Amino acid sequence: MNIVTIFGGPRLQGNTATVLGWVEGALREGGHSVERFDLNDLDIKGCQACFTCMESADEPGCVLHDDAEPILAAMTGADAVVYASPLYMWSVSSQLKSLLDRTFCLVRDYGGPNHRSFVEGAKTTLLVTCMGPIERNAEWARDQFVRYAGYTKYDLIDPWIVPGCSEPGKLGDDVKQKAAELAARLVG
């Protein structure tokens, strides 16, 4: 399978990058292709709300020409997309939020009888790491992503929130095992 991972954190050696790396490693060990995009290194502008993308029924058609273009192209050709972010202000990072906004161009006729998406049927999940607990802390990020998956018509695998993260060296073997389990669900 062709898997795209989108890393929305600024720290390439941080908790989120480490856990995402374990998911990617398990996928590669299973013989799957994995392409990662590190958003912090890219120039991705926010959606301009111009609706020009809606003029084309056959392609995403975003008018902005920046580093989101190859990501959107990879997403539309992927069997699964994994979004990963540290928890920032009860949500995903601004790097990831900007890309999520840009995926507006992937959906047509939302709320109408011909609702469809260029990523329809691909599997997806959200991986979030946070220092605190899930309750009263990370559930907003999870709930937003569940709605996003419905909007884009992804085949949703429940978002995975990893609480109590202080530093990558303290992530336990149980987290590494759950990363392997997530990889198996993505390709199963």
Q: Are 160 and 126 in contact (CB under 8 A)?
A: yes
Torsion angle, CA of 142/147/149/153, rounded to 10 degrees? 170
Contacts for 63 with CB less than 8 Å, ≥ 6 apart? 48, 50, 52, 53
CATH architecture of 2-187: 3-Layer(aba) Sandwich (3.40)
pLDDT tens digits for the chain (188 residues)?
999 999 999 999 999 999 999 999 999 999 999 999 999 999 999 999 999 999 988 889 899 999 999 999 999 999 999 999 999 999 999 999 999 999 999 999 999 999 999 999 999 999 999 999 999 999 999 999 999 999 999 999 999 999 999 999 999 999 999 999 999 999 99
Q: Please, what is the end-to-end C-alpha distance for the chain in angstroms?
A: 10
Measured between alpha carbons, how far is 119 from 111 in angstroms, rounded to an integer? 17
| Per-residue confidence (pLDDT) for residue 61, from 0 to 100 | 87
Neighbours of 59 (CB within 10 A): 13
Amino acid at 171: L
